[in-house]
Structure formats: C-alpha cells, structure tokens
C-alpha cells in the first residue's frame, strides 16, 4: 500500500478510507495480554453485577420489612380503636338486657361493621373453659369433671386472631 497524504482517498475491500493515518505503526499486542485484559474486565464486571444484585436484594428486603412493620402498626392502631369501642358494645348489651329494644339496631350495626374488619365475639356458654379466651370470675361446684362455662357475664372479643378482651364467665364443674 502506498503512503497516503491527508485528503487522499483509497478504496480497500470496497470501502473508502478517508483521512486515516495508515502510516501509523500498528501496536503489536500479544494474545496473552488480550486474554489477561479480557479476564480482568470480566472479573470487574462480575464483581459489579454481584454488588448490584446484593444491593437490589437488600433493598427488596428493606421494602418488605417496612411494609410488614406498617401493616403491623395499622393492625395495632385499629385494634386499639376497637378496644376503646368495646364499652359502647357493653353498654348496648346492658341496655338490651334491661329491655331497651331501641338500642338493638345500633348495637347490631356497630357489631356488624366491626366484624367485617376482624372482630369476633367470644361467647363460650356450654363449652369447656379455656383460660386463653375467658376469665373465670365465679366458680360453682357441680358433679365434677371438666370445667364448663355456665354463664357469660361480659362478652369477650378477639381482633384478627388476637384476644382483645377475655370474656368474664361463671364456671361449673
């Protein structure tokens, strides 16, 4: 190939070489050097990819943990609100027990709304006494055997599987 001056054009393999300094000496690079450089770049890429994947996993775990904490705080707060409403339900039950039928629709509506959100009324009459959901405040001797709930003095409630207030009951054995 002849030396080209700037501005000269030459066609090589069907392509136009324009303004190339073809007189510059080509650097001799060994295959070992290229392989070493490729391995170094590949290793750096793998390290960056691993660091990225760890950071992405850490962020995903943090996001899930934050959402779980938020959900727990919401459940705890709503449980506290429901717990403050239990005296209203007790007052309604007392009024109905004394013959005030006007209160029944209000009590039923309030209880229906709270039950949709996760409130469950604990009323264990006739069941074997369970100290995890009821407090025995009166004990009557009976024929012996299992302790059976004979009367509920105050209803108990659970909120989303957690006991808000145990029932006050009379137990007979």
Quick check: 18 pLDDT over 80? Answer: no
Q: Does 5 reside within a domain?
A: no
137 vs 129: CA distance, rounded Å: 12
Residue 71 is predicted with a pLDDT of 92
Using DSSP's 3-state secondary structure scheme, residue 143 falls into coil
pLDDT in tens, 42-95: 999 999 999 999 999 999 999 999 999 999 999 888 888 999 999 999 999 899
> To the nearest whole percent, how much of the chain has pLDDT over 90?
61
Q: Does 16 reside within a domain?
A: no
Confidence of residue 145 (pLDDT cuts 50, 70, 90): confident
173 vs 35: CA distance, rounded Å: 87
Domain identity same for 144 and 61 = no
Domain identity same for 58 and 136 = no
Residue 65 belongs to domain spanning: 25-117
Quick check: 9 pLDDT over 90? Answer: no
Q: Does 41 reside within a domain?
A: yes
Q: Does the pTM exceed 0.75?
A: no
Which residues, including other chains, have CB under 8 Å from residue 30's CB and lie 6 or more apart? none
Domain identity same for 108 and 163 = no
Could you say which of 101, 117, 133 is where a domain stops?
117
Domain identity same for 57 and 131 = no
Using DSSP's 3-state secondary structure scheme, residue 128 falls into strand
């Amino acid at each position: 190939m002849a030396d080209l001056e700037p501005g000269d054009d030459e066609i090589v393999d069907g392509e136009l070489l324009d303004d190339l300094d073809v007189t510059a000496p080509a650097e001799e690079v060994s295959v070992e050097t290229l392989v070493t450089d490729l391995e170094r770049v590949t290793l750096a890429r793998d390290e960056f990819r691993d660091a990225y994947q760890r950071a992405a996993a850490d962020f995903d775990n943090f996001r899930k943990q934050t959402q779980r904490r938020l959900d727990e705080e919401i459940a705890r707060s709503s449980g506290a609100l429901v717990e403050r409403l239990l005296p209203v339900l007790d007052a309604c039950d007392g009024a109905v027990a004394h013959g005030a039928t006007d209160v029944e629709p209000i009590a039923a509506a309030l209880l229906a709304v709270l039950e949709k959100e996760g409130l469950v009324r604990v009323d264990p009459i006739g069941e074997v006494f369970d100290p995890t959901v009821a407090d025995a405040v009166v004990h009557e001797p009976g024929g012996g055997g299992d302790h059976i709930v004979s009367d509920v003095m105050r209803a108990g409630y659970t909120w989303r599987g957690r006991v808000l207030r145990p029932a006050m009951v009379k137990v007979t054995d």
